[in-house]
Amino acid sequence: MAKIIPFQAVRPTRDKVSLVTCRSYEDYTTAELAAQLDFNPLSFLHVIKPAYTNQEKVTFEKRYRQVHQKYQDFKLENILVQDKKPAIYIHQIITKTQSYTGLIVGSSVADYCNNTIKKHEETLDYRVRLLKEYMKHAEFNTEPVLMTYPDNKIIENWIFNQTQKLADFEFSSTKKETNYLWKIDDPLEISWIQNIFSKIPSLYIADGHHRFQAAQLLSQEFPQDNNKAHLLSYLISENTIKVYEFNRLVRDLNGWSKPAFIAALESNFIVENKDQQPYQPTAKQEFGMYLDGAFYKLTYRNRATKTHDVLENLDTQIIYHTILLPLLAIQDLRNDERIEYLSGKQSILELKQQVDEGSFAVGFILYPSNINEIKALADNNLIMPPKSTYIEPKFRSGMVVYEL
Is residue 376, in this structure, part of any structural domain at all? no
In a domain? residue 160: yes
- Asked whether residue 373 is domain-assigned, the answer is no
Pairing label, strands 145-149, 169-172? unpaired
| HEC-encoded secondary structure of the chain | CCCEECECCEEECCCCHHHHCECCHHHCCHHHHHHHHHHCCCCCHHHHCCCCCCCCCCCHHHHHHHHHHHHHHHHHCCCEEECCCCEEEEEEEECCCCEEEEEEEEEEHHHHHCCCEECCECCCHHHHHHHHHHHHHHCEECCCEEEEECCCHHHHHHHHHHCCCCCCEEEECCCCCEEEEEEECCHHHHHHHHHHHHCCCCEEEEECHHHHHHHHHHHHHCCCCCHHHEEEEEEEECCCCEEECEEEEECCCCCCCHHHHHHHHCCCEEEEEEECCCCCCCCCCEEEEEECCEEEEEEEHHHHHCCCCCCCCCHHHHHHHHHHCCCCCCCCCCCCCCEEEEECCCCHHHHHHHHHCCCCCEEEECCCCCHHHHHHHHHCCCCECCCCCEEECCCCECCCEEEC
Q: What does the alpha-carbon distance between residue 118 and residue 6 come to, in Å, rounded to a whole number?
A: 21
pLDDT of residue 4: 97
State whether 198 and 283 are in the same domain.
no
Domain shared by 231 and 89, yes or no:
yes
Say if residue 16 is in the same domain as residue 143: yes
Q: Are residues 71 and 117 in the same domain?
A: yes
Q: Are residues 196 and 211 in the same domain?
A: yes
Residue 305 CB-half CA count within 13 A: 3
Task: Say yes or no: 230 and 251 in one domain.
Answer: no
Nearest-5° angle of CA 370, CA 376, CA 381?
A: 130
What was the pLDDT predicted at 28? 86
Give the count of domains, the chain. Answer: 2
In a domain, 151, yes or no: yes
In angstroms, the first-to-last Cα distance of the chain is 24
Question: Can you give the residue range of the structural domain that contains 175?
Answer: 4-242+392-403
Q: Which residue ranges of the chain lie beneath pLDDT 70?
A: 51-57, 303-308
- CA-CA distance, 300 to 347, in Å (whole number)? 23
Sign of dihedral through CA atoms 217, 214, 44, 149?
negative
Is 51 in the same domain as 128? yes
Phi-psi domain of 247 (left: phi exceeds 0; alpha: psi -120 through 50; beta: other): beta
12 and 148 in a single domain? The answer is yes
Instruction: Examine residue 384 and state whether it is found in any structural domain, yes or no.
Output: no
Residue 379 lies in a domain: no
Cα-based torsion angle of the residue sequence 190, 193, 199, 203 in order, rounded to the nearest 10 degrees = -100
Residues 221 and 277 in one domain: no
Q: Are residues 144 and 216 in the same domain?
A: yes
Are residues 93 and 129 located together in one domain of the fold? yes
| Inside any domain, residue 144 | yes
If asked whether residues 351 and 226 sit together in one domain, one would say no
| Cα 224 from chain centre | 30
Report CA 126 to chain centroid distance, whole Å: 19
Q: Give residue 229's Cα distance to chain centre.
A: 22
| CATH code where residue 303 lies | 3.30.1760
- Is residue 217 assigned to a domain? yes
